Amino acid sequence: MHRFAKPSVFLKLTDPLLPWLAGATAILIATGLYFALFASPLDYQQGDTVRIMYLHVPAAWMGLFCYVGMAICGAMSLIWKHPLADICARATAPIGATFTALCLITGSLWGEPMWGTWWVWDARLTSMLILLFLYLGYIALVNAFDDPERGSKAGSALALVGAINVPIVKFSVDWWNTLHQPASIVRMDGPSVDPSMQLPLALMILGFTCYYFVLLILRVRLELNERRIRALQLSGMFDERSDQEAEKANSYDAGHNAEASQ
């Protein structure tokens, strides 16, 4: 694993991977959307609104997935001090925050016709909202320092402390008996969702996951390129200055020599 932690190796590896991932994302989400919007049955109670599920559940899954990824990256950057782990954690945070916000918004749109309210202070909803706050806190903390290195380290510690919320979100519907329905996909005795709905759901979840990796690779490459530009600019500045200094020194030497020779 440590071999892959070098930025150059990362770029070389992800270059051929990126078009495949992007293609897989497009195909999975396109077929997933087709099944979700046209080729899946209506819910006998909810009618067409059940189709919100095909966006809501994958977004919720990605919100948690990204946070776990961020916490793992944070742990890796604290333990092995990999610069790439820092960059991955930083790049993941806004993506995860967006998915979490998307989950809350679609959930709210789904809740209005079904529960008759945009928002309830239900355990699952509240813990998901806290997850969004944790993301925002992480992003704010990482960007609050003049030294980006220090920001990443503080962020890694915060990501690990906040990871305690992830099991709370997952099990909140089992621990508290609330309005949000209990776990129906990842549970001990198999999913309770109808098979005809499982297919589009699985396609969408896979598609969202691929989409995350595409975004992650793009964002990490952006950050690496930005760093390289900064390094080049800095070295360029020093080169210029050293050139000028060398010139000055030369002219001084020349003048001095000329004086001496007179």
Partner 1 sequence: MNGFLAILQRDLRLALRQGADSVMVVAFFIVTTTLFPFGVGPEANILARIASGVIWVSALLAAMLSLERVFQTDYEDGTLELLTLSPVSLELLVLGKVLAHWLTTGLPLIIAAPLMAVMLNMDQNGFVTLMIAMLLGTPALSLIGAIGAALILGARRGGVLVSLLVLPLYIPVLIFGAGAVEAALLGISATAQLQIMGAILLITLAATPFATAHAVRQAME
Which stretches of the chain bind partner 1, using CB under 8 A? 78, 130, 133-134, 136-137, 140-141, 144-146, 150, 153-154, 157-158, 160-162, 165
Tokens 């333990």 belong to which residue? 79
Q: Which two tokens stand for residue 82?
A: 């990999």
Report the alpha-carbon distance of residue 212 to residue 196 in Å, rounded.
Answer: 25
Give me the least distance between CB of 130 and partner 1, in Å please: 5
Q: State the minimum distance, in angstroms, from the CB of residue 224 to partner 1.
A: 23
CA angle centred on 54, ends 43 and 193, rounded to 5°:
50
- As measured in angstroms, the least distance from the Cβ of 119 to partner 1 is 17
Please state the closest distance from residue 121 (CB atom) to partner 1, in A: 11
Residue 29 vs 159, nearer CB to partner 1: 159
Q: Which is nearer to partner 1, 72 or 154 (CB)?
A: 154
- At its nearest, how many Å lie between partner 1 and the CB of residue 134? 6
Question: What DSSP state is assigned to residue 47?
Answer: B
Question: Residue 133 or 238: which CB sits closer to partner 1?
Answer: 133
Two structure tokens written together for 202: 């699985």
Please identify, using beta-carbon distances, which residue of 129 and 224 lies nearer to partner 1. Answer: 129
Single-letter amino acid code for the residue at 117: T
Assign 184 to helix, strand or coil.
Answer: coil
Inter-residue contact 93 to 142 (CB < 8 Å): yes
Question: What's the chain's Rg over C-alpha atoms?
Answer: 26
Q: Torsions phi, psi of 122, nearest 5?
A: -90, 155
Nearer to partner 1 by C-beta: 94 or 137? 137
Q: How far apart are CB 180 and partner 1 at their closest, in Å?
A: 17
**Closer residue to partner 1 (CB): 161 or 232:** 161
Per-residue CA distances from 48 to 38, 44, 204, 259 (Å)? 10, 9, 17, 94
* Closest distance of CB 262 from partner 1, Å: 56
Instruction: Report the residue number, 42 or 144, with the smaller CB distance to partner 1.
Output: 144
Place of tokens 């954690």: 89
Q: How many angstroms separate the Cα of 238 from the Cα of each of 147, 161, 190, 250? A: 20, 41, 63, 18
What 3-state class would DSSP assign to 221? Answer: helix
Distance between start and end Cα atoms, the chain: 68
